Amino acid sequence: MMARHEASQGSRASVGGKASAKARANIALAKYWGKCDLELNLPAVPSISMTLDRLVTETSVEFDPYLTRDEVRLDDRIARPSEARRVVALLDRVRAAANSTLRARVSSENRFPTAAGLASSASGFAALAGAATSALGLEWSEARLSRLARRSSASAARSIFGGFAELPAGTPGDDRLAARPLFDADYWDLRIVVAVAAEGEKAVGSTEGMERSRRSSPFYEAWIADAPRLAKRVRAGLRARDLEILGEAMEQSTLAFHACAIASNPGIVYWRPATLAALQTVRRLRDEAGLSVWATMDAGPHVKALCRAADRRKVQAALGRTEGVLRTLSARPGRGLEVRL
Ligand code: DP6
């Protein structure tokens, strides 16, 4: 078995091979913000996420002996140099592991509902890790794929797994860190309702935002010190299927990381007026209508509300009516990485 795999691996690494993979975006319930090792891309805090069913990226990779350089297409356009560099860095790691010098043709498409306003680096690098390794005949475990995806984008480590996953904090210098699955997609029928608060790309990317926070925010140390406690509360809420415990810790995690980013120099303010309006809608639904609904925001202006499946319609309608909210969409817990040869 081993010998056969090695043989096929050897031949694919020299004559080429093709694979495609699907991975889905995830929303951090306990946020990752801050790195303890920039070179190895290791998070300074533990994070916990829910993988989302409808937000799929599909990526195909073909290693071709006739190519002289890697070709990268994203959503049917040629990737910008900064995007291509991150893709090539992952391909280089896979080539080194497979002992191959072949160049690849990469094509990645976000099958997100139109302009969901959600970042696709998590689903993108998770899908790329799956497709690139399989295309060269490497049969890696989910943990190893998660490690590979983590080097490119730490949140991508979590998208290897379906349902709910955790990425522990890293140890500087130790490249082995991977996410691990906590619960399957059918563990708890929750919904995320996304309220899209603005068009366009975010002003400050997460890698830069984290580094600026580390260098200049007086609240950075406090955030790093408190994040493990919040992750523990989120984990406890998930384990007990207790939405109050989970939601309260989730909101605190997002507000604490945003407070840390806002206090950087220059300040990083991801919010727009519609972000605060949506946040208020969520609080009103909780305080006045008695719904168990909680909000979280990533490195961008959109508000993602977490609620039970039974409350989804009410939450989506209220957010849809909120001033400045452009549109809404909802998602449920989704599957992990799927690879096809
Ligand atoms: C706010 O995973 O995009 O969404 O590792 O630098 O690529 P890099 O950062 P990235 O950061 C995600 C930050 C976040 C919170 C989260 O998803 O945990």
Hey, which of 26, 29, 32 would you mutate to test ligand 1's pocket, going by the most ligand atoms within 8 Å of its Cβ? 32
Evaluate: CB of 270 within 6 angstroms of ligand 1.
Answer: no
Ligand 1 atom with least separation from CA of 32: 18
**Confidence label for 149 from pLDDT (cuts 50, 70 and 90):** very high
Q: What is the mean pLDDT of the chain?
A: 94
Distances (CA, A) of 263 to 32, 208, 255: 17, 15, 12
- C-beta separation of 160 from 129 below 8 A: yes
Residue nearest to atom 1 of ligand 1 (CA): 298
The two most distant CA atoms of the chain are separated, in Å, by 65
Cα 298 to middle of ligand 1, angstroms: 8
* The pLDDT of residue 259: 98
The residue with tokens 């130790």 is 174
Query: Does residue 105 sit in helix, strand or coil?
Result: strand
155 lines ligand 1 (CB under 6 A): yes
**Contact at 8 Å (CB) between 2 and 88?**
no
Best probe residue, ligand 1, of 206, 223, 224, 258 (max atoms within 8 Å of C-beta):
206
More confident site: 266 or 341: 266
pLDDT tens digit sequence for 305-340: 999 999 999 999 999 999 999 999 999 999 999 999
Regarding beta strands 294-296 and 303-308, do their DSSP bridges make them parallel or antiparallel, or are they unpaired?
A: antiparallel
**In 178-322, where does DSSP find H-type helix?**
206-216, 220-239, 243-262, 273-287, 312-320
Q: How confident is the model at residue 5 (pLDDT cuts 50, 70, 90)?
A: very low
Ligand 1 centre and the CA of 216: distance in Å?
19
| 85 has a pLDDT exceeding 90 | yes
* Cis amide linkage into residue 181, ω under 30° from 0: no
Task: Give the separation between CA 102 and CA 69, rounded to whole angstroms.
Answer: 9
Q: Is the pLDDT of residue 7 over 50?
A: no
Q: Is the CB of 25 under 6 A from ligand 1?
A: no
Q: What is the pLDDT of residue 13?
A: 76
- pLDDT of res. 4: 37
- pLDDT on residue 113: 67
3-state secondary structure (DSSP) of residue 73 = strand
- pLDDT category of residue 116 using cuts at 50, 70 and 90: low
pLDDT band at 117 (very low <50, low <70, confident <90, very high): low
Q: With 70 as the cut, is the pLDDT of residue 260 above it?
A: yes
Output the pLDDT for position 200.
78
DSSP readout, 3-61? HHHHHHHHHHHHH-EEEEEEEEEEEEEE----EEETTTTEESS-EEEEEEEEEEEEEEE
The neighbour count for residue 184, using CB atoms within 10 Å, is 14
Indicate if the pLDDT at residue 39 is higher than 90: yes
Q: What percent of the chain has pLDDT over 90?
A: 90
What is the pLDDT confidence band of residue 112, given thresholds at 50, 70 and 90?
confident
Cβ-contact 202, 318 below 8 angstroms:
no
Does residue 122 surpass a pLDDT of 60? yes
pLDDT above 70: residue 115: no
Minimal-distance CA residue to ligand 1 atom 11: 206
Does pTM surpass 0.85?
Answer: yes
SS3 154: helix
CB-based contact 315:305 (threshold 8 Å): yes
The pLDDT score that the predictor gives to residue 2 is: 35
Examine the pLDDT at 133 and tell me if it is beyond 50.
Answer: yes
CA 52, distance to chain mean position in Å, is 10
Q: Please list, in sequence order, all residues whose beta carbon lies within 8 angstroms of the beta carbon of residue 187, skipping any fewer than 6 positions away.
A: 163, 164, 241, 333
